Amino acid sequence: MWNINNHAQFYNCIHDLIQTPSVHAMSGISQHVNVNCLEHSIFVSYISFLICRFFGLDYVAASRGGLLHDLFLYDRRQEGSHKGCHLFSHPAAALENASLLFVLTDMEKDIIVKHMWPLTTKAPKYKESFLVSCADKFCALVEMLFIYKLMNIDRKLAISG
């Protein structure tokens, strides 16, 4: 799972995104217990990459959409930093930010805006969108149960921009 070949192929999918200041800014945003937004997004992206590649799906779009799925760029705990309930509104904010920074495919857009399904009103259009949504929930659980830090996943997925 954590071998060098997987890591290299994964990095090739996201290298242009990971080097941008806006993506790096996610490291300053708290996500889940002792995990920042960038760490979480890289974890979701990598798990999505592995699952979609295993099933012969578009692992490039899944890894790219997975990396950008939480590009909302605000501290959700700060009063007035965003409109509405974060759980429901942050996918649209992430899509808006990602669309301003990158040229996205329809699948990548769907992955970003529907990653909170079933909380979002519309179901994912693509299998990859559904799998990234599942990976997001799996990764959040791993992070909140402190397994992320216990297994040194942050070091295993270390990406230098």
CATH number at residue 133: 1.10.3210.10
- Tell whether 161 is covered by a domain: no
- Tell whether 102 is covered by a domain: yes
Q: Using only C-alpha atoms, what is the Rg of the chain?
A: 14
CB 42 within 8 A of CB 71: no
CB 104 within 8 A of CB 66: no
- Tell whether 66 is covered by a domain: yes
Do strands 35-36 and 30-32 pair parallel, antiparallel, or not at all (unpaired)? antiparallel
Per-residue confidence band for 47, with pLDDT thresholds at 50, 70 and 90: very high
Q: Using one digit for the tens of pLDDT, what is the confidence trace for 90-139?
A: 788 889 888 999 999 999 999 999 978 877 778 899 999 999 999 999 98
Query: Is residue 32 pLDDT above 80, yes or no?
Result: no
- Tell whether 32 is covered by a domain: yes
- Tell whether 83 is covered by a domain: yes
- Tell whether 18 is covered by a domain: yes
> Could you tell me the residue range of the domain that residue 101 belongs to?
4-156
- Tell whether 123 is covered by a domain: yes
- Tell whether 115 is covered by a domain: yes
| Total domains, the chain | 1
Cis peptide bond prior to 118, omega within 30° of 0: yes
